[in-house]
Amino acid sequence: MCAKKHDLIHDTSHISYETLLEGNKKFIANAIEEDPDYFTKLANGQKPPILWIGCADSRVPANQITNTKPGEIFVHRNIANMVIHSDMNMLSVLDYAVNVLQVKHVIVTGHYGCGGVIASMSNQQFGLIDNWLCHIKDVYRLHASKLDLIENEKERADKLVEYNVVENVYNLCKTSIVQNAWSKGQQLGVHGWVYSIETGVIKDMNVSTYNNQNMGEVFKFK
């Protein structure tokens, strides 16, 4: 017998406000059992080598899918992992990560099946978020000649997810924060990944860069 669609969705009905607090107690007990000094070490400060700019989707937790621990990845998340030059939240996180924490890598990580990307492909209005989705629509516009050739809607959405990551890596490189770090000789790599929720595999989009040499001249700061 075929499973119904709702049967395939992870059951979260058991999660409540109270279960979160109980979960915290279990987390503390397990952490201390494994390492009695766990929280003492964490409280001493953070020096993560990675800034992760990812989607707010609850199924894409940075530490779990990279098998890293608290303190090893500095994380910023928003709808569809966007790097928007007027977003003071993102810019503040980026500035702190690059100039204070001195991270070595910034990774823009999207994921297939992204609701924000899929929503941007429609003509439907969703509310306030429409203003945010316009940035993804601009990505579609840039690559429309290729995207419009893809008849399968899921495949077209997956390709837009990839293009969205690539364009936001480029947007990241255009920020004065990243370019100033490069001009000072700071070791900083910018990368783009796409995560598959269906398989758990991360795809490297092979757009890594460590300087502004591949950028258009108009975007380069002197």
| The one catalytic residue among 35, 37, 59, 148 | 59
> Is position 57 annotated as part of the catalytic site?
yes
| The one catalytic residue among 76, 77, 114, 135 | 114
> Is position 114 annotated as part of the catalytic site?
yes
- C-alpha span between 33 and 6 (Å, rounded): 37
| The one catalytic residue among 6, 11, 37, 57 | 57
- Provide the CA 76 distance to its chain's centre, in angstroms: 7
Q: Where are the beta strands (DSSP E) in the chain?
A: 50-55, 73-78, 105-111, 189-195, 202-204
Q: What angle do CA 116, 120, 124 make, to 5 degrees?
A: 115
| The one catalytic residue among 111, 135, 156, 191 | 111
Tokens of 83: 């790097």
| The one catalytic residue among 55, 76, 173, 191 | 55
- C-alpha span between 150 and 158 (Å, rounded): 10
User: Which residues are the active-site residues?
Assistant: 55, 57, 59, 111, 114
